[in-house]
Structure formats: C-alpha cells, structure tokens
Structure 1
Amino acid sequence: MKTRRRPYAEQRPQDVGGGVWSVPVPIPGNPLGYTLVYAVESPKGPVLIDAGWNHPDAWEALSGGLGALGLDVSAVRGVVVTHFHPDHAGLAGQVREVSGAWIAMHEADAALVRMINEYEADAQADMQADMLRRAGADPAEAAQAVGERPVPPAQPDRVLRDGDLVDLPGRKLRALHTPGHTPGHICLHLEDADRLFTGDHVLPDITPHVGIYPYDRDDIDPLGDFLDSLDRVGDLGPLDALPAHEWIFPDVAARAVQIRHHHEEKLERLRALLAQRPQPLTIWEVASMMTWNRPWEDLAPVLKGMAAGEAAAHLRTLEARGLISRVTGVEPVRFHALDS
C-alpha cells in the first residue's frame, strides 16, 4: 500500500494490512506535520512503534486514532521507540501511565535519555551557545540559534541491541541498529510479514538530519555510520517500508541506494569547495556555503544551528576518509582540503 503525504488535516488512521495499523499524530509547529505511529497486533495486546509528540492534541490523536481502529490505548502491551527524538518518544511515558506498557529503545539512545533527564535546562542552553561559538558563529548568532528544550522523554524500561527480538507474542519483530540520525536509531523488521518499520532512517522523499553535537567532536562519525546503516538496510532486499513520516512505500533497498548517492554527491561538492579556498574554513562558514532547501540568510537561527550540525557531520566523514584535515590548536575549529 502506498499513499502520498497530505496535510495532517487530511490524514486518517488506517488498517495497512497484516495486523498492522497506522495512526497519524500531529507535531505542533513542525513542517513535517505528523508522525506515523504504528500498532502491531499480538494476542496479548498491540505493540506501538513510536508514540508521537508530548502534546494534548497529539495525545487526543493517538488515543482517538487507536479507538477508531478498534484498539484501546489502555490495552497497549509495549512501545518500541525507534529513536529518542520528541516526535517519536514524547508520548511513550503517557501510554505507559494508562496501560502499564513497557517502553523499549536501543541502549545508546537510552543512555542519552538518562543524560537529558539529568541535565539542567540552563546548563543545556549554555552548552549549546558555547558549541555554536566554537563552530564559528558570532555571539549574537549563537544566542539566537539556541533552541527551546522539549519535554525530556520517559526513561525506557527495556533496552534493545542489534538483532534482538521485541517482546511481541505471536509475531517476529527484530531490531536492526541503524545509527546516524541518532546513535541508537533502530529499524524494526517484521519478519513474519517481510516489512520494515524504518523510523527516520529511510524516508520516501526527504532525507533525515544527520549531525554532530558538539560540532567539533573528532571521536565519532555519524554520517559514516548512517551510510553503513543504509547498506545494512539494502541487504534486506526490496521490502515494503513503513516510515515514521510521509508515506508507506515499496522497495526500501532502492531508496537506501538513492539516499547514499545523495550524500556521496554532497560530500564531493564539499571537498571541492574546501579545495577551492585558500584559507581553512570554520564549520559555520562551510554551512553558510552549502546548499539547503532555502538560502542561508533566509534560514531561521535554530535551522542554521541544525545546518551547522549537518555540515560538521559531512566534514567529519571527509576527515575520516583522509580527504580533509582540521587545523589543531585554534578556536573556532577550521578545516582545509588535503592534496588529492
């Protein structure tokens, strides 16, 4: 089954076959519009794939949408969170409160949730502003680009690792660790129906944000991890994909190849950009020169911060491949191309 993305007002809960239902849950003030939450049938109650944003309208949509499909939110057995972002994990705690459901996510994202819950909001804002300054943003830009802190997600009861089977009686739902968008992002292979819940890892039309935070880290390579994860998804073959946004689509392997090609082209353009510059560039300068969905000067400050995170991830992958190098001992950090 395949549908095109429509405005949230036109979305409806639906039976997508094989004991799986989808419920669109709104994301207030976000151009994505909604998260597709899936419910998977089992003899001991449905298990949700993601839960949606923590907001009264979202809760009404989730609980009401399940009810329209003949499912009671109080009967939910568990919530598997594909990753810790608030449009996926936000309502998991409330589902647990009304149903007693367990919450599961990958151990890497569970560790991030612990850290977020322990971090003071003011300290987080100061850390973000300092990170932006170290990337090359001036103090005024840094102050404007600090985003509001969403309500921290609930701590999971269970952690998943690559290859683990989800506690879903009568079905076979296996976790596939696909880091990049977050360190603990997982896709979920419904092996008894040959379908793949892709979360944000593989979407039919857009590509997920892959960034480094803090921007100047040199001990991780999230984009490299993301590209490797695309290959793993491709190895599963032409499965039907049930993503968290946009629409259900066929042949996830073909789409994974397209996304990899998109990033390889972006990496080559960035390497060429640095090679043309006589002086090393800061992350902020690089981000301002890259192509986004609108001109750099038209991006809201928070979106500039996200763009810088994505620029940093691409720079880090080029660095890991030995194509560029960072200038050490300076702040903000700067990068230059190496001779071919």
Structure 2
Amino acid sequence: MEWTEPGVFEVAPGVHRIPLPLPNDGLRTVNAYAIEDGSGLVLVDSGWALAEAETALESALAALGRDFSDIRRFLVTHVHRDHYTMAISLRRRFGTRVALGLGEQPSLNRVLARSRDERFADLVSWGASELVPKWRAAWSAVRDEELDYEEPDEWLTESDLGLEKRVLHVLPTPGHTRGHVVFVDSESSLLFAGDHVLPHITPSIGFEPVRPELPLGDYLDSLRLVRSYPDLRLLPAHGPVTDSSHARVDELLAHHEERLAASLAAIGAGTSTAHETARRLGWTRRQRRFAELDLFNQVLATGETAAHLDVLVRRGLLTAVDADGVRRYSA
C-alpha cells in the first residue's frame, strides 16, 4: 500500500499514522501522528487547514473511536503551513493547546506582521533578479497566508514532555527551518522526525521568512546530533515509516557532501552566483534541468544552492563578495 493512502495506521503500540492530503503539491500528503494519552490524544503535527484535510482527519479519528474534542495537545515540528495551520484552525473551535519550537518565533512574527519582502531581497542576493517579478506576481495571487496563523500556546525548547504513558524529548533540529524540533521517544525507540529526516527526499533548507546565516550548516549539525542518538524507528512527516533513523541520516549527510562538491565544481567552471550555479546543477533524483522546474522549485533550488555555497565559504573553499546587493563567489 502507498504511504499516501488515506486511513489510520498503527505504527507502534498506541501510536497511529494519519496521512492528510496536500493541495497541488508534489509531496501529496503529510503524516500526522496520533498518540494515545489516557482518555485523549496528543498529535504530532496537524496538517494544512484545508476542508479536505480536516475531513480526512475527522474520519481517521472516528476510526479510533475519537473526535476533535479528544485532541488534548498539538506538538508541531515546525511552522510550515502543512504542519501548523490545522492546529490553529482546530484550536479556534475546540481550545486545543498548540506547542511550537521557540526558534520559529522570528519567522512567525514576520508572517503575522504581513511582511514578505525579505524573500525578494534574497532572490536579488542570489543573482536571480529575473525571478523577482514572477515571484511577486505569484505571491499577489495567493490569499493572505497570515489568516491561517496565530502564536502557539507554548514555545518549546529542549526538554522532556511527560505524557501519561511515555516521555517525549524535545530536540531542536534547526536547518529545514530555524525552529524545527523532533520528538524522541527513547523507551519505545521512536523518532517523530517532522521534515528533518525524510525517507525519500531531502527537505528544503532555509526557505522561511527569517533565514539564518548558515541554514545548511545548521542542518548538517542537526543531522549529526540525531545520529548521536541510538538508532530509532523513523516516523517522518512525508513518506513511509522506516526502521532506521541512522541509515537515512547517513544517506542525507552523503548527499549533501556530493552537492557541495558539485557546487564547488560549478564555481570552478565559471559560475559566480547562486542562481548561475543552480542553473548548472541537476535537480531531483532524475537530474532535471533547472529550466524544467516550476517557479516555486526554481526559487527553492536557488536558495538551496546559496546555502551550499555559503557552507563552502565557511569551510574556506570559496570566497564571497557582496556588491550591488548580489553575492558573488569565487574559488
């Protein structure tokens, strides 16, 4: 069975995976995890606040003999809308408590302040000015995303959360976003990984309203941190449950070293900006050309490339000079 099929699936005693649909998204589905907690439930991630996703969640809860009022708490791995906004929607109706990593506060404040200009400035810095008018037009066609957002009830830092029958360790794992967290259930050998460790794809890096200085460096450090824990059953937000967090972390670390080498080679071959370099690299497992990507993925790819080039600068393999708002790299 495909992991995207709707339903409710027990992945460990008292833990159920609930796939929820995404709109017009190559990922297609996001996993929420319902943890039995006494007379109620705790959900890790919530899904996107969409009618079809709410219906799917309601049906899954009914299969467990539950309803929305049984959800006591949402533990959200990061602020992206496919993880956070359903929690806010249901809180407005049922008063459910919502928790989010403290590192997401700057980006959430920016969203609530209705400020989006930094993404345009990033494109200019990456040498992708040609994408700015297309990106601006795409944003203007989208309804205000701020309507889906509010602050959480609780900001999470590294700590132990005691549920009735288990303890979840909150582990900050910045990289995909600066406030991403995972939840480690050591006794049951489970890792609620959000988008930090995904079984089939690599998560985007640093695509957020307040981008940190070195998002890929943060991500690689966070991967090594998770690798320092015992090998755990991987419960990802996108993709099937797998048995080894270590195996996938090792693959992700190797993948990024390969991308760093390819990025360095592109600069050596004559590119100078993140956008020029992204256009020279292959994308996805099929090594698609940059021009074949849609606008959203072209922006992601350019930002990813900038993140890799900045790590190469930090390692002393490249130099970077900012002039006229554009960052240019050289060996």
Q: Name the stretch that deviates more: 147-156 or 88-97.
A: 147-156
Tell me how far apart the structure 2 counterparts of residues 87 and 106 of structure 1 sit (CA, whole Å): 16
Contact 2:233 2:241 in 1 (8 A): yes
Corresponding position of 1:128: 119
Count of residues in correspondence between the two structures: 322
1:11 aligns with 2:2: no
Given candidates 253, 257, 267, the residue that maps to 1:260 is 253
- Per-residue deviation, residues 162-214 of structure 1 (Å, max 9, x unmatched): 2x122523320111111100001111011231111000111111111113668
2:213 and 2:9 mapped to 1: Cα distance? 40
Aligned pairs for 1:68-217 within 5 A: 68-119=63-114, 123-124=115-116, 126-139=117-130, 141-146=131-136, 147-148=138-139, 150-151=145-146, 152-162=148-158, 164-211=159-206
Structure 1: which 5+ runs fail to align? none
**Which structure features the higher share of strand residues?**
2
Identity of aligned residues (%): 34
1:62, CA displacement in angstroms? Answer: 1.2
Go from structure 1 to structure 2 and tell me whether the alpha carbon gap of 1:153 and 1:287 turns closer, same or farther (over 3 Å shift): same
Give the Å deviation of 1:112. 1.9
Tell me the CA shift for residue 134 of structure 1.
Answer: 3.1
In the other structure, the counterpart of 1:291 is 282
| Letter in structure 2 aligned against 1:103 | V
1:95–1:241: structure 2 CA closer, same or farther, 3 Å change rule?
same
The Cα of 1:336 is off from its aligned counterpart by: 0.7
The CA deviation string for residues 203-256 of structure 1, in whole angstroms up to 9 with x for no partner, is 1111111136689x7x72111111111111111122111111110001101110
Matched, 1:232 2:222: no
For 1:321 and 1:225, the matched residues in 2 are separated by 14
Asked if 1:276 is matched to 2:269, the reply is yes
Change (3 A) 1:261 1:220: same
Aligned match of 1:66: 61
CA distance in 1, matches of 2:97, 2:129: 45
Equivalent-residue separation in structure 1 for 2:103 and 2:243 (angstroms): 29
1:77-136 deviations in Å (ceiling 9; x for gaps): 1001100001100101122233322111110113321221112xxx52x44334323322
CA distance in structure 1 between the partners assigned to 2:51 and 2:320 by the alignment: 46
Distance 2:198 2:152 in 1: 25
Question: What one-letter code is carried by the residue in structure 2 that aligns with 1:74?
Answer: S
- Aligned with 2:215 (options 202, 222, 245): 222
Partner of 1:37: 32
CA distance in 2, matches of 1:214, 1:115: 6
Structure-2 change in CA distance of 1:214 and 1:177 (3 Å): closer
Letter in 2 for 1:35: V
In 2, distance between residues paired with 1:321 and 1:32? 33
Q: Secondary structure at the match of 1:165?
A: strand
Cα distance in structure 2, aligned partners of 1:318 and 1:206: 22
Work out the CA distance in 2 between the residues paired with 1:91 and 1:214.
Answer: 20
The answer as to whether partners of 2:177 and 2:208 remain within 8 angstroms in 1 is no
Report if aligned partners of 2:321, 2:327 keep a CA contact under 8 Å in 1.
Answer: yes
Distance 1:100 1:169, change over 3 A: farther
Q: CA deviation at 1:273?
A: 1.8
Cα 1:106–1:197 change in 2 (3 A) is same
Q: What displacement does 1:328 show?
A: 3.4
Distance 1:113 1:44 in 2: 32
- Of 93-102 and 143-152, deviating more is 143-152
More divergent stretch after superposition (129-138 vs 101-110): 129-138
Q: CA deviation at 1:276?
A: 2.7
* TM-score scaled by length of structure 2: 0.91
Query: Do 2:74 and 2:99's aligned partners in 1 also have CA atoms closer than 8 Å?
Result: yes
Q: Deviations over 1:250-288 (max 9, x none)?
A: 1101110110000011101111221232xx612211111
Letter in 1 for 2:193: T
Counterpart check, 1:315 vs 2:309: yes
The correspondence for 1:54, drawn from 45, 49, 54, is 49
